[in-house]
Amino acid sequence: MLLAVIKGRAFPPPNFSFPNRPNTVQYSLSDEFCEWAKAHFFVGIRFFAMKEGIASKIEEIAQRVAGSEGIEVVEVEVKGGGMHRFVRISIDKPEGVTHGDCELISQQVGTILDVEDVVPGGRYTLEVSSPGVERKLLKPQDYQRFQGKKAKITLRDPLEGRRNWEGTLAGIENGEVLVETAPGQSIRFPLDNVQKANLKFEW
């Protein structure tokens, strides 16, 4: 079961302006268009870096709040921008997350975000939820903690001609993940070769 608390926080948004775009089709790019494209390319990089910085700051705050309550912060995501910014905090604990846990983290973290003006523009939606039964595996200790559980893993580089694997987690040793793919058969691969991984729910 997935538990979540979602709150919208709205303040006057900042003003944005966009350059006029020529309504002409050309086979060669003008110097003006190249300069415009170059500028927006770097704006895109800066915007991505800014979101990463915001997520890092939010995670630091969430860790501080959750740690005092014995709650693990699984992941912090920041999506969108301007008037449509979305902040998602995923939390967990050994005995399972309750709605009260989500509400507590939402209230405390949300208050700090507003007081410290962490999210530019002040308008965003904050969601605090459990990671669900198929939670992501993001940290080295996740592979040890969930040893014996089924998982789905996608690799960056193929192993034995395959990128997608399913099996039972068998721990992590010297930076390599061990997965039992069948009785008596197992594979291992570097943790940094994992593109994405999550637990697999068994009905």
| Domain at 170, CATH number | 2.30.30.180
Distance in angstroms (rounded) separating the CA atoms of residues 127 and 111:
13
Share of the chain above pLDDT 70, in %: 75
Are 49 and 86 members of one domain?
yes
Distance in angstroms (rounded) separating the CA atoms of residues 25 and 30:
11
Q: What residues make up the domain containing 106?
A: 4-11+34-129
Distance in angstroms (rounded) separating the CA atoms of residues 157 and 143:
19
The beta-strand segments (E) located in the chain are 4-9, 72-79, 85-92, 124-129, 150-159, 162-173, 176-182, 185-190, 194-199
Distance in angstroms (rounded) separating the CA atoms of residues 110 and 203:
36
Amino acid at 124: Y
CATH number at residue 93: 3.30.300.70
Q: pTM to 2 decimals?
A: 0.71
From first to last of the 203 residues of the chain, give the pLDDT tens digit: 556 666 665 444 333 344 443 433 333 345 554 454 444 444 434 444 567 889 999 999 999 999 999 999 999 999 987 777 899 999 999 899 999 999 999 999 999 999 999 988 778 999 999 999 999 999 999 999 999 999 999 999 999 999 999 999 999 999 999 999 999 999 999 999 999 999 999 87
Mean pLDDT for the chain overall: 82
Please write the tens of the pLDDT for every residue from 104-156. 999 999 999 999 999 887 789 999 999 999 999 999 999 999 999 999 999 99
* CA nearest neighbour of 2 among 101, 97, 124, 115: 97
Count how many Cα atoms sit within 13 Å of the Cα of residue 177 in the half-sphere of its side chain. Answer: 33
Are 173 and 92 members of one domain?
no
Query: Ramachandran region of residue 160, left (φ > 0), alpha (ψ -120 to 50) or beta?
Result: left
